[in-house]
């Protein structure tokens, strides 16, 4: 047998760092510090981490301080918005860092996938990480196993915290405790005791927005007007946009109510939120605080928003007070503004049927000009005022009979009680199925039957609720009509935009240029 000789050749290069064994070359070491909230105690922790790692790294003779990277008040469940962390990883991949030291795995990332993928990417570029609390070195053979376990635990901790926070929010919602971003709601603020109060200076702007909308202006034209007047938006910006105005017009907080849980978090890792479309409970609190807009006026605005957005009507235009107010007697289309002699001294704006020259049959209705409309409206209005007492008496009679909601509210209460019973029965059904072994076909049939009953009741409930809102809005519409009519005096000599918007529904022009003014109470007056 041949005797073999085995000679060991010592390693000359570190397999992890690629640095020659025994080399005096110093490792470039960086620290990473993070806290997830802006609370005072967390701020102290953050400052302590920064100070500790800066001094610790600088105290080692075999290390070179490569910087301290940090993120303050940012969650670790996702690395997307952590600028300090992302900059550190980028620098490490460029060779500026050999070792990263941080307090714990949870400080690094609470997302297992993010944590492991980042560590592996760093290892490929010979960058090691050290987690002090867990004593894990990622170049160690046991490092990745320990890291996987610890990252999973950190992720589970994050999920648990998220669920606890969500539960806390929903418990406060159920108890009727309200909080919202006051800086984004113009006209409302929090006082020293934490109560919601009206900012009277800003409330004037809110009331103006609702008034202009009811007078016929669109959210876009209102936004342009507010911008031109130099009024700041809810976020303090110089320029308004139609979206902001539209959200204000539909914000129930302006009538003193609050709808809680309009959105909810669907992923605790990404913190992605979604509009609540029935997936989780909502809580509606009536009369929570002082109203800026009368509830009936607010409901009237909601009906107008719905009316303007209907697909079965032509596109609403609120460029001027005459937009969507003048109707063609022949085809039923709205009149639109047209510019004649746009480039010379005879330039003027006229209004004519938008479909006058479309299709095979042309409308015979003539165009009208602004002064003709204004003059005819003043005449119609004076005729209405001359019969003011009779008109108001008729309106009061209509309001007291047509807009009563007592029976509907009783019906709504009965439906609400039925729905609550069905919900309890459904929850009991699911709970029983979870505890006791049952025939699943029978269970599913029973469950589907309860859901079907719930859906039918909900449809009825929504329908009755809608009828109540319409009746209340009509009542307020008639009240506003009476108020403006009472304040009008005995004779109107000049055209008034407020009366035009508050009293008139629309005016119809026929081919003989006869104008029929239809007022919001249903009164019709013809003027040649």
The pLDDT value given to residue 37: 46
The pLDDT value given to residue 77: 44
The pLDDT value given to residue 16: 45
The pLDDT value given to residue 15: 47
The pLDDT value given to residue 177: 57
Q: Is 411 exposed, middle or buried (0-12, 13-18, 19+ CB in 10 A)?
A: middle
Provide the greatest CA pair distance for the chain: 133
Q: What is the mean pLDDT of the chain?
A: 77
DSSP classification of residue 367: P
CA 371 – CA 350 distance, rounded (Å)? 10
Neighbours of 345 (CB within 10 A): 5
The pLDDT value given to residue 278: 60
| Ranges of residues in the chain whose predicted pLDDT is under 50 | 13, 15-18, 21, 37-43, 75-78, 169-170, 173, 267-270, 312
From 50, 42, 51, 117, select the one nearest 79 (Cα to Cα): 117
CA 510 – CA 333 distance, rounded (Å)? 12
pTM as predicted: 0.47
From 348, 351, 321, select the one nearest 336 (Cα to Cα): 351
C-alpha R_g of the chain: 35
Q: How would you label 465-492 residue by residue, b for 16+ Cβ within 10 Å and e otherwise?
A: eeebbbbbbbbbbbbbbbebbeebeeeb
From 284, 490, 306, select the one nearest 385 (Cα to Cα): 490
């Amino acid at each position: 047998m041949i005797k073999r000789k085995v000679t060991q050749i010592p390693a000359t290069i570190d397999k992890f760092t690629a640095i020659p064994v025994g080399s005096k070359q110093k490792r470039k070491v960086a620290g990473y510090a993070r806290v997830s909230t802006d609370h005072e105690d967390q701020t102290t922790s953050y400052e302590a981490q920064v100070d500790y790692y800066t001094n610790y790294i600088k105290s080692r003779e075999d290390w070179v301080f490569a910087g301290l990277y940090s993120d303050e008040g940012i969650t670790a469940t996702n690395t997307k918005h952590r600028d300090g962390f992302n900059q550190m990883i980028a620098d490490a991949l460029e060779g500026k860092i050999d070792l990263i030291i941080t307090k714990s795995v949870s400080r690094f990332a609470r997302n297992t996938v993010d944590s492991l993928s980042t560590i592996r990417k760093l290892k490929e570029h010979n960058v090691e990480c050290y987690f002090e609390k867990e004593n894990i070195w990622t170049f160690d053979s046991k490092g990745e196993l320990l890291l996987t376990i610890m990252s999973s635990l950190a992720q589970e901790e994050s999920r648990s915290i998220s669920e606890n926070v969500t539960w806390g929010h929903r418990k406060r919602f159920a108890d009727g405790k309200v909080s919202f971003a006051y800086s984004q709601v113009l006209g409302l603020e929090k006082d020293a005791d934490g109560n919601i109060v009206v900012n009277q200076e800003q409330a004037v702007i809110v009331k103006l927005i609702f008034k202009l909308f009811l007078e016929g202006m669109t959210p876009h034209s209102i936004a342009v007007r507010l911008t031109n007047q130099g009024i700041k938006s809810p976020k303090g910006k110089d320029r308004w946009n139609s979206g902001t105005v539209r959200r204000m017009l539909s914000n129930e907080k302006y009538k003193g109510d609050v709808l809680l849980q309009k959105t909810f978090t669907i992923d605790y890792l990404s913190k992605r939120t979604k509009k609540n479309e029935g997936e989780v409970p909502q809580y509606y609190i009536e009369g929570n605080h002082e109203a800026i807009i009368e509830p009936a006026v607010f409901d009237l605005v909601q009906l107008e928003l719905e009316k303007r957005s209907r697909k079965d009507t032509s596109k609403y235009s609120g460029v001027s007070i005459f937009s969507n107010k003048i109707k063609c007697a022949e085809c039923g289309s709205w009149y639109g503004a047209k510019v004649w002699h746009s480039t010379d001294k005879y330039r003027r704006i006229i209004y004519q049927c938008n479909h006058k020259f479309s299709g095979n049959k042309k409308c015979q209705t003539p165009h009208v000009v602004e002064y003709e409309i204004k003059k005819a409206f003043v005449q119609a209005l004076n005729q209405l005022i001359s019969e003011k007492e009779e008109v108001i008496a008729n309106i009061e009679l209509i309001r007291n009979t047509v807009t009563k909601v007592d029976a509907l509210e009783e019906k709504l209460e009965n439906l609400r009680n039925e729905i609550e019973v069905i919900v309890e029965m459904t929850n009991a059904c699911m709970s029983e199925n979870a505890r006791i072994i049952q025939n699943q076909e029978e269970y599913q049939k029973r469950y589907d039957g309860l859901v079907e009953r719930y859906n039918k009741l909900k449809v009825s409930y929504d329908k009755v609720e809608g009828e109540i809102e319409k009746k209340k809005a009509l009542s307020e519409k008639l009240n506003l009509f009476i108020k403006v009519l009472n304040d009008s005096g005995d004779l109107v000599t000049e055209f008034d935009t407020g009366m035009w918007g508050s009293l008139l529904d629309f005016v119809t022009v026929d081919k003989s240029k006869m104008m029929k003014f239809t007022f919001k109470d249903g009164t019709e007056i013809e003027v040649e």
